[in-house]
Amino acid sequence: MAVIESVASLHEAHRDNHTHRDVNGGWLRPAVFGAMDGLVSNLALMTGVAGGAVSQQTIVITGLAGLAAGAFSMAAGEYTSVASQRELVQAELDVERRELRRHPVDEMEELAALYVSRGVEPELAREVATQLSRDPEQALEIHAREELGIDPDDLPSPLVAAVSSFGAFALGALLPLLPYLLGATALWPAVLLALAGLFGAGALVARVTARSWWFSGLRQLALGGVAAALTYGLGTLLGAAL
C-alpha cells in the first residue's frame, strides 16, 4: 500500500512539474516582433528627423504618424501571413483526410512503417497503427503530427496574431514619443526612455526563453542603439545637404 501511495505521489509531482508553455498559440512572435519593431523603427524615425534640425512639432507628428502607420501595417501583415499559413495547412489536411478516406489500408501501413523506422517492432507497430486508425479524426491528427509536424487542433489564429502585433507595436512606438507628449523639448529623454524600454523588453522576453535576462536585454539595446545612431547620422547629413 505504501509503495502504491509513493508511486501515486511521484506521478502527481511529475505531472505538476512537467507542464509546458504554449509555443504554438500565435501570439508570442508577433507580440515580441511588434514591440521591438515599434520601439526601434519609431525611435530611428524620430532621431532621423531630429537629425535634420526640424521643429519639435515635426518630430511629434512624425512619431505619431510612424506609430499609426506601423501598427496598422504590422497588424495587416501578420493577419495575412498567419491566415495564409493556416489556409495552406488546412489544404494539406484536406489532402490527408481524402487519402485516409480513399486508401485507409495504405495510410495505416504507412503509419506502421513510420513507427518501425523509429525502432518499434513491426508487429507492435502494425497493431498500434491499426488501433489508431479506427477513429478517422484521431488518424488524421496522428498523420498530421507525424507527416506534417502540426497539430490540427492548435493552429495559430490570424486574429490573435494581428491584435498582438498591433498592440505591441503601438506600445513600443509610443515609448520614444512620451517625453515629447509630456513636454520635453530635447531628443535625449526620448532616446534614453526608448533604450531603457528596449533593454526591459529584451529582459522580459528572456522570461519565456532560455536566454539570460541581461543577454537578451543588452542584445535589444545594442540593436536599437545602432539603428537610432545610424538614422540620426543620416538625418544630419541629409539636413545639411538639403
Report residue 3's pLDDT band, with 50, 70 and 90 as the boundaries: very low
For 106-164, the pLDDT digits (tens) are 999 999 999 999 999 999 999 999 998 998 888 899 889 888 888 888 888 999 989 99
Decide if 21 is inside a domain. no
Amino acid at 76: A
Decide if 22 is inside a domain. no
Q: Is 148 exposed, middle or buried (0-12, 13-18, 19+ CB in 10 A)?
A: middle
What is the rounded CA–CA span in Å between residue 153 and residue 25?
11
Domain extent for 130: 27-237
For 15-48, the pLDDT digits (tens) are 555 455 554 445 677 787 888 889 999 999 999 9
Decide if 1 is inside a domain. no
Decide if 8 is inside a domain. no
Q: Confirm if 195 and 219 have CB atoms less than 8 A apart.
A: no
- Split into its structural domains, the chain has a count of 1
Tell whether the model's pLDDT for residue 7 goes beyond 50.
Answer: no
Decide if 13 is inside a domain. no
Decide if 210 is inside a domain. yes
Residue 155 has what pLDDT?
86
Decide if 122 is inside a domain. yes
SS3 helix, strand, coil % of the chain, rounded to 5?
A: 80, 0, 20
Residue 12 has what pLDDT?
57
Decide if 20 is inside a domain. no
- Helices 28-50 and 213-241 sit at what angle, rounded to 10 degrees? 30
